[in-house]
């Protein structure tokens, strides 16, 4: 039994070695007889050293400085192999030569298994295994290359509003942590024989994938009157969001996904709302993208954690259903479904559309109601070159409004209020030649 004090000293020593020594200090020494009698048996084939020159493309990843004098790999069945040593004395002698200097120093006091376990407190499996001996990775790679099967996930994509499903491929893999523990334990115990079990990884069936990728939300808005710059900004922001997958309990952030609206990021100058006025700015039109996505997320039943209104009403959506974004304001919503949700968006014929897919949920819809109209006023503006009484800018009414989420529960239609907003009116500007007015 290792005393607690010794164990702590061991960990401290390993910690110091990991962070102040490099992996390059690990050296390997070839077998002293220089024969490199390496055997690699898989299924019913045995490859000996005189055939190594016939192998191409790294089929056997052992290098010529491999320190094992003889090594066998035997397939027991489709899911298990046995690794064993033909000549135990030679194996033990040469494995010790292949150990790193640091591992050798500790071997008299601590087993390889305990060294490896302690190292896992400070680093990953690959670094821990290579710290003891890089031959460990060589053996693992040889086994994995000959016996493992690459896995690929079944995929769901949506192109221009049309869902498409792609079949995945079942895989078989060998857990490296378990492999290292079993191998080091066999060496520590002097058995020099390990049975390794491969793990199956099944690709999701298309039927299951289809069941959890039902359309939950679909919303679109039109920007037919937008100029080229605004249209390009809308297309760019939509493209950055398209294909986003939100895992259960994760929160989507519009600003994090789209990035800063700058010229360096590809955004152009177009009309934006700033301090209650329409003005020109980089990224104009992006708020129409966030608004469209916001409504889609509402219909999809996702939990909205942040949404902000514009100071003025917008033309592409009803009051209280907008979602303004800026460097300081974000659109965020959380995946509360318990399953992944998929966001797809595209632009076509001056329309931006978002669809959200996931596990089937409630059928939801949104509506907006104006509770009060805030009339605009007329303001005279001194314009000596304009016709007296000419309308320079048309006025727009403001509103007090509410947004509602509508769904059916226990056979009853439920109308739940989710927002109340006030939008300022935009005064009408009328020209005047009276020079007593302050020019705007």
**Helix locations, 99-247, DSSP H:** 101-107, 112-119, 125-132, 135-147, 176-189, 206-211, 228-241
Domain residue ranges in the chain: 4-201, 215-361, 362-440
User: What are the tens digits of pLDDT across the range 187-207?
Assistant: 788 776 777 788 889 999 999
pTM, rounded to two decimals: 0.68
Q: Name the stretches of the chain with pLDDT < 50.
A: 1-5, 7-70, 90, 93, 438-440
The predicted pLDDT at position 190 comes to 75
Task: Write the DSSP assignment of 212-237 as a string of letters.
Answer: T-EEEEEEEEE-TT--HHHHHHHHHH
Closest by CA position to 426, among listed 285, 277, 287 = 277
User: What are the tens digits of pLDDT across the range 270-283?
Assistant: 877 766 567 778 88
Using CA atoms in the order 239, 241, 243, 244, what is the torsion angle rounded to 10 degrees? 160
Strands 378-382 and 428-432: parallel
Instruction: Identify whether the C-beta of residue 420 lies closer than 8 Å to the C-beta of residue 320.
Output: yes
- Please state, in angstroms and rounded to a whole number, the distance separating the CA atoms of residues 180 and 139: 10
User: What are the tens digits of pLDDT across the range 250-302?
Assistant: 999 999 999 999 999 999 988 777 665 677 788 899 999 999 999 999 999 99
Backbone angles phi, psi at 382, to 5 degrees: -70, 115
Which of the listed CATH numbers 2.30.30, 2.20.230, 3.30.310, 1.20.1070 matches domain 362-440?
2.20.230
- Please state, in angstroms and rounded to a whole number, the distance separating the CA atoms of residues 274 and 284: 11
- Please state, in angstroms and rounded to a whole number, the distance separating the CA atoms of residues 231 and 347: 9
Task: Write the DSSP assignment of 242-276 as a string of letters.
Answer: TTEEE-TT-EEEHHHHH----TTTT--EEEEEETT
């Amino acid at each position: 039994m290792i005393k607690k004090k010794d164990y702590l000293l061991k960990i401290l020593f390993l910690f110091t070695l990991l962070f102040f020594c490099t992996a390059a200090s690990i050296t390997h020494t070839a077998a002293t007889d220089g024969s490199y009698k390496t055997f690699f048996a898989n299924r019913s084939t045995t490859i000996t050293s005189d055939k190594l020159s016939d192998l191409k493309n790294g089929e056997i990843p052992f290098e010529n400085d491999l320190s094992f004098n003889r090594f066998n790999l035997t397939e027991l069945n489709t899911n298990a192999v046995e690794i064993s040593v033909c000549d135990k004395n030679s194996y033990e002698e040469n494995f010790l030569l292949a150990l790193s200097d640091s591992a050798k120093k500790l071997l008299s006091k601590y087993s390889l298994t305990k060294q490896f376990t302690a190292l896992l407190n400070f680093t990953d499996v690959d670094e821990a295994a290579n710290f003891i001996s890089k031959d460990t990775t060589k053996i693992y790679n040889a086994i994995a290359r000959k016996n493992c099967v690459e896995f690929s996930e079944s995929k769901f994509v949506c192109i221009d509003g049309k869902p498409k499903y792609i079949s995945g491929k079942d895989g078989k893999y060998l857990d490296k942590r378990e492999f290292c523990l079993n191998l080091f334990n066999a060496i520590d115990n002097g058995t020099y024989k390990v049975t390794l079990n491969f793990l199956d990884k099944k690709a999701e069936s298309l039927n299951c994938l289809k069941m959890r990728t039902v359309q939950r939300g679909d919303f679109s808005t039109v920007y037919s009157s937008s100029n080229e710059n605004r249209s390009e900004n809308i297309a760019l922001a939509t493209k950055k969001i398209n294909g986003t997958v939100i895992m259960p309990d994760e929160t989507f952030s519009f600003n994090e996904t789209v990035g800063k609206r700058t010229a360096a990021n590809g955004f152009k100058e177009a009309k934006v709302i700033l301090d209650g006025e329409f003005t020109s700015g980089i990224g104009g039109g992006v708020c129409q993208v966030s608004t469209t996505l916001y409504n889609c997320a509402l219909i999809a039943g996702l939990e909205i954690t942040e949404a902000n209104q514009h100071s003025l009403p917008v033309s592409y959506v009803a009051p209280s259903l907008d979602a303004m974004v800026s460097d300081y304001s974000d659109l965020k919503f959380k995946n509360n479904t318990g399953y992944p949700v998929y966001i797809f968006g595209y632009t076509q014929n001056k329309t931006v559309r978002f669809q959200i897919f996931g596990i089937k949920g409630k059928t939801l819809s949104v509506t907006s109601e104006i509770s009060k109209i805030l009339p605009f006023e007329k303001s005279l503006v001194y314009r000596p070159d304009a016709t007296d009484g000419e309308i320079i800018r048309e006025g727009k009414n403001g509103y007090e409004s509410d947004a509602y989420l509508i769904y059916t529960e226990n056979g009853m239609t439920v109308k739940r209020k989710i927002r109340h907003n006030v939008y300022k009116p935009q005064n009408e500007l009328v020209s005047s030649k009276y020079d007593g007015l302050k020019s705007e």
